[in-house]
């Protein structure tokens, strides 16, 4: 092997190495957890589609204590963004929840923008195209599902102009009585030519025309 080939190999392994999805889930989600397979698929899609702009509504308010209960998405997607030259925008209405999330995602903070705001106002004025959108804000209550379902509908309506043909949308807390957070979001997207590619506790949708 000549010097040029050795240099290329070293450059590739140092700068271009992309870890498999399992790397970002290890010691965070057990393989049999209700979010493992969908987080795994989402991470795979992020890598395959070379996502650069990732937006999540609802930050990891319990830090690394929230993997099982809430998901720990800011830490997982922040870690991925850090290894893939992407930016994660995490928006939350609560500044104390954002502080917790910041503390837990410090190693990846160069690749995370923390925004304290109502998610709908934030999405309405977001200026960039969104490659991956994760909806997980307003808490869902089975006894009072409409406030959360309406809020998530307004989020997708606000974000929709910034989605493109290769965007991915994932929604948390879906397979719950009375439809969960995706109850209104999923039909909204299907009516516009999107299809479900993963349907469990989290639901993933892509445009019908994309791979
Ligand atoms: C379920 S937690 C998010 C969990 C996080 N995605 C994770 O995986 O760890 C929901 C968050 O949504 C936030 N939230 C509630 N209403 C909101 C709103 N109108 N705009 C933005 N965030 C909101 C709450 O403050 C809370 O931190």
Domain ranges of the chain: 19-207
Atom of ligand 1 nearest to the CA of 61: 27
15 vs 24 pLDDT, higher one: 24
pLDDT for 64 equals: 94
Nearest CA to 54 among 37, 73, 70, 36? 73
Backbone angles phi and psi of 71, in degrees to 5: 125, -40
Name the residue of 38, 63, 138, 149 whose CB sits within 8 Å of the most ligand 1 atoms, as the mutation to test its pocket.
Answer: 138
- Rounded to the nearest integer, the mean pLDDT of the chain is 93
Percent of the chain at pLDDT above 90?
Answer: 90
**What lines the ligand 1 site, CB under 6 Å?**
56-61, 66, 70-73, 91-94, 97, 118-119, 136-139
Q: Helices 73-83 and 95-104: crossing angle, nearest 10°?
A: 50
Percent of the chain at pLDDT above 70?
Answer: 91
pLDDT bucket at 15, cuts 50 / 70 / 90: very low
pLDDT for 6 equals: 53
pLDDT value at 1 more than 80: no
pLDDT value at 12 more than 90: no
Instruction: Give mean pLDDT, residues 33-48.
Output: 98
Q: Distance (Å, rounded) from C-alpha 112 to C-alpha 47?
A: 17
Q: Distance (Å, rounded) from C-alpha 108 to C-alpha 102?
A: 9
pLDDT value at 130 more than 90: yes
Per-residue pLDDT tens digits for 65-120: 999 999 999 999 999 999 999 999 999 999 999 999 999 999 999 999 999 999 99
10 C-alpha to ligand 1 centroid (Å): 41
Q: In the structure encoding, which two tokens stand for residue 157, read together?
A: 């309506």
pLDDT for 168 equals: 98
In angstroms, the Cα distances linking 114 to 36, 73, 109 are 25, 13, 9
pLDDT for 116 equals: 98
19 C-alpha to ligand 1 centroid (Å): 28
pLDDT for 17 equals: 59
CATH number belonging to domain 19-207: 3.40.50.150
Q: Diameter of the chain by CA atoms?
A: 68
pLDDT for 18 equals: 73
């Amino acid at each position: 092997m000549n010097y040029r080939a050795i240099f290329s190999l070293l450059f590739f392994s140092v700068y271009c190495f992309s870890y498999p999805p399992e790397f970002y889930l290890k010691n965070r989600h057990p393989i049999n957890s209700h979010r493992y397979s969908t987080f795994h698929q989402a991470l795979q899609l992020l890598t395959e589609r070379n996502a650069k702009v990732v937006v999540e509504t609802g930050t990891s308010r319990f830090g690394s204590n929230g993997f099982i209960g809430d998901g720990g998405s800011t830490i997982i997607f922040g870690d991925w963004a850090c290894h893939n030259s992407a930016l994660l925008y995490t928006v939350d209405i609560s500044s104390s929840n954002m502080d917790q999330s910041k503390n837990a995602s410090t190693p990846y903070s160069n690749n995370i923008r923390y925004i304290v705001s109502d998610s709908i106002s934030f999405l309405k004025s977001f200026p960039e195209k969104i490659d991956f959108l994760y909806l997980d804000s307003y808490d869902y209550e089975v006894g009072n599902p409409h406030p959360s379902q309406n809020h998530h509908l307004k989020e997708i309506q606000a974000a929709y102009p910034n989605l493109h043909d290769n965007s991915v949308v994932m929604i948390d807390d879906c397979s719950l009585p009375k439809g969960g957070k995706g109850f209104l979001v999923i039909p909204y997207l299907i009516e516009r030519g999107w299809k479900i590619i993963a349907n469990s506790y989290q639901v993933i949708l892509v445009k019908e025309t994309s791979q």
